[in-house]
């Protein structure tokens, strides 16, 4: 019964540049929300030419801060609403890289577009969110897990909209398998899109920098295998 219910699940794959991940750390829980570190948030520079110069200097300064991590080059994330992409950014103290999901919101050129960053796997059932379904409601954009049906509001800090609803055979099975799990919202991370279309993400405080990418680890394993 278990195999049949999940036979239609699509395999989780990273883009070619980040492929080769064998394991991933559990997504760090976000403690608190706000706009600390986000350029242009909670600040109102003056209007007119002088105000534009101030804003431009602020954005350049913020783009260079170490807390902003480049996670996608121009064109890597689709431009259509709900386009998703798995990215590898940040590392746990045990040395395992974190996986996150980028989701396209409002379309636009460069800084006019909106990109969300959330967990790589569903908080409820732990299946990948790369196939999550994006929708816009009265309270903003939400992302629904394609496996268990749990829904999270991306505009409200990952707040739970639905938790293991159990609608249909696959969702019902997912609900039974995770019935003892405590309800919890998804992580949402600050993002910014540069004029050139590159996407940056601010990782949780205390997250370590990646020492080896998935591609580098895969290359090392290949060398070990060839020399054995």
Using one digit for the tens of pLDDT, what is the confidence trace for 32-87? 433 333 333 333 334 444 555 544 554 554 444 567 899 999 889 998 899 999 99
Residue 133, number of CB atoms within 10 A of its CB: 14
CA distances 151 to 39, 67, 138, 167, Å, are 28, 29, 14, 13
Q: Distance of CA 118 to CAs 89, 143, 149, 167, 177, Å?
A: 12, 9, 16, 24, 23
Distance, CA of 122 to CA of 134 (rounded, Å): 14
So what's the pLDDT on residue 142? 96
Q: Is 136 among the domain residues?
A: no
pTM of the full structure: 0.67
Does residue 179 belong to any structural domain of this protein? no
Range of the domain at 123: 18-129+185-227
* Domain assignment of residue 113, yes or no: yes
For residue 93, the model assigns a pLDDT of 83
Model pLDDT, residue 37? 34
**Beta-bridge mates of residue 34:** none
Tell me, yes or no, whether 61 lies in a domain.
yes
Structurally, the chain folds into a number of domains equal to 1
Residues of the chain whose pLDDT is less than 70? 1-66, 108-112, 213-214, 217-218, 220-221, 227-228
Assigned domain for 175 exists: no
Q: Flag whether 142 is in a domain.
A: no
CA dihedral of 54, 60, 65, 70, whole degrees rounded to 10: 140
List the beta bridge partners of residue 199.
72, 193
């Amino acid at each position: 019964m278990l195999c049949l219910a999940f036979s239609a699940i699509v395999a989780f794959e990273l883009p070619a540049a980040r492929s080769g991940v064998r394991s991933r750390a559990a997504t760090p829980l976000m403690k608190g929300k706000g706009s600390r570190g986000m350029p242009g948030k909670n600040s109102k520079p003056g209007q007119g030419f002088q105000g534009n110069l101030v804003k431009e200097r602020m954005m350049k300064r913020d783009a260079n801060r170490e807390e902003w991590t480049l996670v996608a080059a121009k064109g890597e994330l689709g431009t259509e609403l709900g386009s998703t992409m798995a990215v590898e950014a940040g590392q746990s103290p045990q040395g395992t890289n974190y996986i996150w999901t980028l989701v396209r919101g409002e379309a636009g050129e460069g800084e006019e577009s909106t990109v969300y960053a959330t967990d790589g796997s569903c908080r409820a059932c732990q299946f990948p969110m790369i196939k999550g379904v994006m929708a816009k409601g009265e309270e903003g954009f939400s992302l629904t897990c394609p496996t268990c049906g749990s829904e999270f509001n991306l505009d409200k800090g990952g707040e739970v909209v639905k938790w293991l609803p159990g609608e249909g055979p696959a969702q019902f099975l997912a609900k039974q398998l995770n019935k003892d799990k405590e309800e919890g919202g998804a992580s949402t991370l600050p993002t910014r899109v540069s004029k050139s279309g590159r996407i940056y993400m601010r990782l949780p405080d205390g997250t370590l920098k990646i020492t080896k990418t998935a591609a580098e680890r895969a290359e090392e394993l290949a060398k070990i295998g060839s020399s054995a």
